[in-house]
Amino acid sequence: MAGNLQVRVAGRPTGIPQAEHFAIVDGDVPAVGAGEILVRNLFLSVEPAMRGWLADRSNYADPIAIGSVMRALAVAEVIESRASGFARGDRVLGWFGWQVFAAAGPAAVIRTIGDPDLPPSLALGVLGLNGVTALLGLEKVGRPVVGETVVVSTAAGAVGSAVGQIAKRLGCRTVGIAGGAEKVAICREEFGYDAAIDYRAPGFEAALAAACPRGADVYFDNTAGPISDAVHRHLALNARIVICGTASVASWDPAPAGPRVERTLLTRRASMGGFVVLDHMDEFNAASARLAQWVREGKLNYREEIVDGIEHCPDAIADLYAGRNFGKRLIRLEKRA
Ligand SMILES: NC(=O)c1ccc[n+]([C@@H]2O[C@H](COP(=O)([O-])OP(=O)(O)OC[C@H]3O[C@@H](n4cnc5c(N)ncnc54)[C@H](OP(=O)(O)O)[C@@H]3O)[C@@H](O)[C@H]2O)c1
């Protein structure tokens, strides 16, 4: 019994996953077991972190086995429930993978989506992994206070755009770093950054220095690499660096070489801390509710880039790493009658 289009992992990438690392197959619609729900996915998420999930070594998540359905968060509709607490028609956010149908136990479900006034797709972006990462990463590791300067890389993206706006709400001066004139304009006009800088343009570091006359008190680092090397040269005393992502590092094998950071941390009395949202899932719903309220009040802007059709999944991760997304990249699946 086929009828369940799935994107399966067909090869192990050594760097950025490309279309050839996936295969689209017509799999079976799964039978729903006792204690499970059967869902039909409405929106599939695309995450930069998928590069790490597909690597041949575990980092904070086990590698995905070749031949498996690609691991992904999705917003889905329950079409059959044999689990208590879920009913047909519920909208749910969970680990349902890049496929049309999934049978899942409650452990795979992050939450039932209960905001009928907001588009369900937001549960994957500004109210989901990206927004919650921005909020909790900033609060727990960045710890900004009024009047400080907060510098953000991938500032026009799903995480970065929320970080900038939340820092601004907290009374900080915000400086966004993004690739290209269009994203820089979006940072200023839609996400309210006080200054936005194109890291690809000549004079990037001079512009950064001018935008942070008293240095960066908080650096929300989504890229690592040369962008971060430049920000480290402009840290304020007692700066906090949130290590959230490493988008500019093509591969960790071999590990990239760069300037040593220890002396900078020493002389600036700075600290650097890693943040992984999956460590804070007990706070996910509360954080998401705070973000939802800000969205309702028009105090938190977001961008989504929705592409129709599961056939766009295989290229989607490489697109993120080429910076071709303007906002949260989602794949929408056609809802069948
Ligand atoms: N730690 C966690 O729990 C957690 C959770 C979610 C996301 N993240 C991380 O947060 C970061 C942003 O994720 P997102 O989902 O919001 O994606 P996103 O920012 O919407 O999209 C990724 C962006 O990364 C930038 N990029 C790609 N290659 C780059 C390079 N070589 N140098 C500099 N920038 C590059 C591109 O922006 P430009 O066009 O501006 O270059 C691209 O648009 C990622 O590093 C991701 O892994 C971490």
CATH number at residue 177: 3.40.50.720
Statement: residue 337 has pLDDT above 60: no
pLDDT number for residue 336: 47
**Residues counted in the chain:** 337
- Minimal-distance CA residue to ligand 1 atom 39: 323
Shared domain for 219 and 120, answered yes or no, is: no
Decide: 158 in ligand 1 pocket, CB within 6 A.
yes
pLDDT number for residue 157: 97
Instruction: Compare 211 and 61 and report the one with higher pLDDT.
Output: 211
pLDDT number for residue 1: 66
Mean pLDDT throughout 271-277?
Answer: 97
pLDDT number for residue 58: 66
Shared domain for 45 and 120, answered yes or no, is: yes
Decide: 178 in ligand 1 pocket, CB within 6 A.
yes
Please check whether residue 290 lies inside any domain of the structure.
no
pLDDT number for residue 60: 73
Please check whether residue 21 lies inside any domain of the structure.
yes
Among 56-70, 111-125, 273-287, which is the least confidently predicted range?
A: 56-70
Among 34-48, 49-63, 284-298, 306-320, which is the least confidently predicted range?
A: 49-63
Shared domain for 184 and 111, answered yes or no, is: no
Shared domain for 182 and 202, answered yes or no, is: yes
Please check whether residue 68 lies inside any domain of the structure.
yes
Per-residue pLDDT of 113-140, as tens digits, reads 988 999 999 999 999 999 999 999 999 9
Decide: 247 in ligand 1 pocket, CB within 6 A.
yes
Mean pLDDT throughout 96-110?
Answer: 97
| Domain interval for residue 118 | 4-125+303-332
The pTM is what? 0.96
Shared domain for 181 and 140, answered yes or no, is: yes
Shared domain for 308 and 212, answered yes or no, is: no
When divided into structural domains, the chain yields a total of 2
Look at residues 261, 278, 295 and tell me which one is the last residue of a structural domain: 278
Nearest one of 241, 242, 243, 239 to 214, comparing CA atoms: 239
Shared domain for 145 and 19, answered yes or no, is: no
Mean pLDDT throughout 181-186?
Answer: 98
Mean pLDDT throughout 212-220?
Answer: 98
Closest ligand 1 atom to Cα of 246: 45
- Minimal-distance CA residue to ligand 1 atom 9: 245
Please check whether residue 284 lies inside any domain of the structure.
no
Nearest one of 157, 153, 272, 161 to 223, comparing CA atoms: 153
Please check whether residue 337 lies inside any domain of the structure.
no
Mean pLDDT throughout 207-218?
Answer: 98
CATH number at residue 38: 3.90.180.10
For a ligand 1 pocket test, name from 154, 182, 223, 243 the mutation site with the most ligand atoms within 8 angstroms of its C-beta.
Answer: 154
Cα 223 to ligand 1 centre (Å): 7
In whole angstroms, give the CA distance from residue 188 to residue 185.
5
Shared domain for 138 and 269, answered yes or no, is: yes
Shared domain for 82 and 48, answered yes or no, is: yes
Torsion sign, CA atoms 20, 21, 24, 27: positive
Per-residue pLDDT of 291-327, as tens digits, reads 999 999 999 999 999 999 999 999 999 999 999 999 9
In whole angstroms, give the CA distance from residue 183 to residue 198.
8
Q: Order of strands, edge to edge, in the sheet holding 235-243? A: 195-198, 173-178, 149-153, 216-221, 235-243, 271-274
Mean pLDDT throughout 190-204?
Answer: 98
Cα 247 to ligand 1 centre (Å): 5
Please check whether residue 298 lies inside any domain of the structure.
no
Cα 167 to ligand 1 centre (Å): 18
Shared domain for 113 and 178, answered yes or no, is: no
Q: What is the mean pLDDT of the chain?
A: 95
pLDDT number for residue 255: 81
pLDDT number for residue 256: 86
Shared domain for 97 and 55, answered yes or no, is: yes
Shared domain for 80 and 140, answered yes or no, is: no
Work out the pLDDT band at 253, boundaries 50, 70, 90: confident
Please check whether residue 286 lies inside any domain of the structure.
no
Please check whether residue 283 lies inside any domain of the structure.
no
- Minimal-distance CA residue to ligand 1 atom 29: 248
For a ligand 1 pocket test, name from 136, 140, 200, 222 the mutation site with the most ligand atoms within 8 angstroms of its C-beta.
Answer: 222
